[in-house]
Structure 1
């Protein structure tokens, strides 16, 4: 069985986002009094008292910049939470943010075009959803997103 890796936002992108986000706005750090925000830098939920920022992030645009893809109208940006300062990154290889909510596994081609998706209802079905997605040779990467708000949670690339 293939094991897939949940990829956080990379260190170069994080450094840029902590200054100016992908919408051109300065990051505005704040203290998270309640905790529970899904952090895309370390793929865990925030703890009360941590300094975080809500920034606009364009995951497909950044991937396209690495690969030369041209996503055209499929390029989008949306809000993500990150630590306001450097963090240690993910502590585990598990699929984060899987508990208690529906997720979609959205498939993208090497050109950055959406090829479809799959609803994932139970944590144990992520391996099957990724295997199903990458069984199609046209799929280059997938985004895991929250169904409720459509928010980007993390990326998985072809193994």
Structure 2
């Protein structure tokens, strides 16, 4: 099975860069990147050390409901190219242990699908979840801070 990693929508990143309020109604915060610890959720690359970045509260769900988590994400403060979902696994996941969790079509967590996975099992574990009929998508999250990183779907 082929999988594709989806960044946050360009329209969303652009809105935040133009000062749109985040999921909690606050303006984006501007900070300076510390390099490899600051992955942009739009280009799915690390924001260069010393570059300006945005920090916003973000919910990667279509509607508010009990399973629609909200948390901090980083974005390049300047325009960046959206990640091409057909490029394979983004470099921000190379060598990193990540938390993965599967969701149903109505964006509910499917219990028993959440797991912290080692780098060598990362894509196989995602593909195994996406092979299930009841799974619509998988979220990749930080294994240490639980921050949303990217959405993963089956590739056509």
Which residue of structure 2 aligns with residue 68 of structure 1? none
103, 117, 133: which one aligns with 2:114: 117
Residue of structure 1 in register with 2:124 after alignment: 128
1:72 match: secondary structure: coil
Instruction: Give the Cα–Cα distance (whole angstroms) in 2 for the partners of residues 30 and 127 of structure 1.
Output: 32
Structure 1 counterpart of 2:10: 11
Equivalent of 1:152 in 111, 125, 148: 148
Report deviation, 1:96. Answer: 3.6
TM-score, normalising length from structure 2? 0.84
Corresponding residue number in structure 2 for 1:55: 56
Gap regions ≥5 residues in structure 1: 66-70
Q: Which residue of 2 aligns with 1:106?
A: 101
SS of the counterpart of 1:114? coil
CA contact (8 A) 1:3 1:127 kept: no
How much does 1:100 deviate?
4.0
The yes-or-no answer on 1:81 pairing with 2:63 is no
Distance in 1 (CA, whole Å) between partners of 2:148 and 2:103 is 14
Deviation at 1:17, TM superposition (A): 2.6
Q: What secondary structure sits across from 2:6 in the alignment? A: coil
**TM-score in terms of structure 1 length:** 0.83
CA–CA separation in structure 2 for the residues paired with 1:17 and 1:138? 33
- 8 Å CA contact 2:98, 2:122 repeated in 1: no
Q: Where does residue 44 of structure 1 map in the other structure?
A: 45
How many aligned residue pairs are there? 148
